[in-house]
Structure 1
């Protein structure tokens, strides 16, 4: 019995720091722009996190999407107001432009091989900006929520290549095809 207790205690001491650091990484993160978000969630794939403030009277959310990435890749996060997967999502993509500056813009994911060209989403997007800090790309934006709801399907992604200022296809295996879920902004 004492040996079992000691084994459990030792295991919990090994696991505890991992759980503690994972829980702290989202809620204790400080943005270089000093932006503050009331809610955050560690997304289950690609090491990404989503931070947000929901403003009910105006039916808007201010977000920060953060994901690890090299300076040659891209990241994206988006909502799908009518479905549950990538196709139909209205996304915001960010990467380093060939001129060396970071760029972020909305795009529509209308197929499994979207153009990734800038395009107007079905909801308003404002206050769009991006930055690269500690090998992570961060997208900031304010979105008008469609239909007056608070629960949406969302997708997030990362790709390793940008060619001629166009993000190229992401991997179609592993975590890249699992990066979707539901979020309630309440």
Structure 2
């Protein structure tokens, strides 16, 4: 029974362990690029603390998570980019004014507690950013790239998953049965497609696995 159930319970953000057992109020399996976001929204000081996890597209590549204050998509986004430098991972900030212009600079909003680390082929970006007071959502963008040249990320691929790696992150949920301060343990809306929380996926997968076990037992019953 264990062998039958285990394969359908795939890794989700709810099963990930962060360095120092750091905990966030929410986590989301992002719908593109095999990426994950752990996050906590603090309405008292309008801050958003995040841990973004993804694997670079190449051995010496990069990963990025960004907020776009003015629109959806990459152009205009304020990005946190973790990239390889001298054998280690460093975190830099970039103003993505257009798809062809990537300028290392300070972000248009406050950011603190920034760092990046690499483990088991994945890179995690840690940061806390200031969001507009009483904001209900932010436009987020995430991306992975294959390589780095002179300390700057090279262009990423323009395949459908790369182009679709964007969406809204709801900080405040006002629907019935949900929280209003962005601190529920389930994920909120993150982008294109039907994106479910890791906990929901595990529950559904477990149900499918158990149903399969009962079906097989009924066939081989003596």
TM above 0.5? yes
Aligned pair 1:26/2:26, yes or no? no
Give the aligned partner of residue 94 of structure 1: 82
Give the aligned partner of residue 35 of structure 1: 22
Aligned pair 1:80/2:68, yes or no? yes
Q: Distance in 2 between matches of 1:33 and 1:68?
A: 20
Give the aligned partner of residue 106 of structure 1: 93
Give the aligned partner of residue 11 of structure 1: none
Q: Distance in 2 between matches of 1:170 and 1:33?
A: 31
Give the aligned partner of residue 145 of structure 1: 131
Secondary structure of the structure 2 residue equivalent to 1:83: coil
Shift of 1:113: 1.3
Shift >4 Å, 4+ stretches = 14-17
Q: Distance in 1 between matches of 2:100 and 2:5?
A: 41
Q: Distance in 2 between matches of 1:129 and 1:71?
A: 20
1:107–1:121: 8 Å Cα contact kept in structure 2? yes
Secondary structure of the structure 1 residue equivalent to 2:161: helix
Shift of 1:127: 0.4
Normalised by the length of structure 1, the TM-score is: 0.84
Secondary structure of the structure 2 residue equivalent to 1:146: coil
Q: Distance in 2 between matches of 1:92 and 1:149?
A: 20
Q: How many pairs were matched up?
A: 169
**CA 1:67/1:39 → structure 2, altered by over 3 Å: closer, same or farther?**
same
1:81–1:146: 8 Å Cα contact kept in structure 2? no
Shift of 1:87: 0.6
Shift of 1:15: 9.1
2:59–2:146: 8 Å Cα contact kept in structure 1? no
Secondary structure of the structure 1 residue equivalent to 2:44: helix
- The structure whose Rg is larger is 2
Q: Is there any run of 5+ residues in structure 2 with no aligned partner, and where?
A: 172-181, 183-222
Q: Distance in 2 between matches of 1:124 and 1:118?
A: 15
Shift of 1:147: 4.5
Shift of 1:150: 2.9
Q: RCO higher in 1 or 2 (8 Å CA, sep ≥ 6)?
A: 2
Aligned pair 1:160/2:146, yes or no? yes
Shift of 1:172: 1.2
